[in-house]
Chain A
Amino acid sequence: SQTIHQWPATLVQPVGSPLSLECTVEGTSNPNLYWYRQAAGRGLQLLFYSVGIGQISSEVPQNLSASRPQDRQFILSSKKLLLSDSGFYLCAWREEGSGGAQYEQYFGPGTRLTVT
């Protein structure tokens, strides 16, 4: 069965510091991967998605970046955090392919980031 991991679970960082969040998926090959952010009391905002190694699409211009160095690894980074970067960061995956149940996305446990 497939499993998705995210770490760290919680993070407190000062403004201006760098960020690196990691997501890995087990039990599947060439998944589509997604990074979302959920601000307190708000909906899900899609930040980045990737359909393959090295292929990153950005949904929202900001000071965040994403990379996919390996098939099942997705990394979210920032060089300098802003207060507005605080939130709940969620990684999700879906099977590569088209049609039916393969569109289902599954979320990791998330990383709660507080920028102080």
Chain B
Amino acid sequence: QKEVEQNSGPLSVPEGAIASLNCTYSDRVSQSFFWYRQYSGKSPELIMSIYSNGDKEDGRFTAQLNKASQYVSLLIRDSQPSDSATYLCAVNPIKAAGNKLTFGGGTRVLVKP
């Protein structure tokens, strides 16, 4: 079982719709969770971080965390063609040496005009 799992996609979303991305993790005591966006050929860019159960909103992005079920999700509202990218979920286990992050394989999102 992978430590952090994401559906590889592609997730095809019409422009203006909501894109819903999911991520599950295996380490029950993980405490920090992050979403990165990576455009093709570019480096990952941090877009959201979440540490407590519930929702966290930032512009068109909403991160949702459920530690009991060990999943974190990302909603992109009013999806735009510029949101087409690969989204990486990352988890920080509570006692990770060097404060390392464990990354999922990423979900590719395609927003179609």
Q: Is the interface of B mostly helix, strand, loop or mixed?
A: mixed
Contacts of B42 in A (CB 8 A): 109-110
Asked if B45 is an interface residue, CB under 8 A from chain A, the answer is: yes
* Cβ-neighbour of B43 out of A50, A101, A107 (below 8 A): A107
* Cβ-neighbour of A104 out of B34, B43, B104 (below 8 A): B34
In the bound complex, CA of A33 to CA of B4 (Å): 22
Q: State whether A43 touches B103 (Cβ < 8 A).
A: yes
In the bound complex, CA of A97 to CA of B105 (Å): 27
Q: State whether B49 touches A49 (Cβ < 8 A).
A: no
* Cβ-neighbour of B104 out of A34, A43, A108 (below 8 A): A43
Q: State whether B49 touches A101 (Cβ < 8 A).
A: yes
Contacts of B43 in A (CB 8 A): 88, 90, 107-110
Interface residues of A in 72-102 (CB under 8 A from B): 88, 90, 94, 98, 100-101
Q: State whether A90 touches B44 (Cβ < 8 A).
A: yes
When A and B form their complex, what is the total count of cross-chain residue pairs whose Cβ atoms lie within 8 Å?
A: 53
A21 to chain B, nearest CB (A): 14
Interface residues of B in 63-101 (CB under 8 A from A): 88, 90, 92, 97-101
B35 to chain A, nearest CB (A): 11
Q: How large is the interface on A (under 10, 10 to 19, 20 to 34, 35 or more residues)?
A: 20 to 34
Asked if B32 is an interface residue, CB under 8 A from chain A, the answer is: yes
Q: State whether B106 touches A43 (Cβ < 8 A).
A: yes
Q: State whether B44 touches A44 (Cβ < 8 A).
A: yes
Contacts of A17 in B (CB 8 A): none
* Cβ-neighbour of A51 out of B36, B92, B98 (below 8 A): B98
* Cβ-neighbour of B98 out of A32, A42, A104 (below 8 A): A32
Contacts of A100 in B (CB 8 A): 32, 51
Q: State whether B44 touches A49 (Cβ < 8 A).
A: no
Which A positions have Cβ atoms within 8 angstroms of B?
Answer: 32, 34, 42-44, 46, 49-51, 57, 88, 90, 94, 98, 100-101, 103-110, 112
Which B positions have Cβ atoms within 8 angstroms of A?
Answer: 32, 34, 36, 41-46, 49, 51, 88, 90, 92, 97-101, 103-106
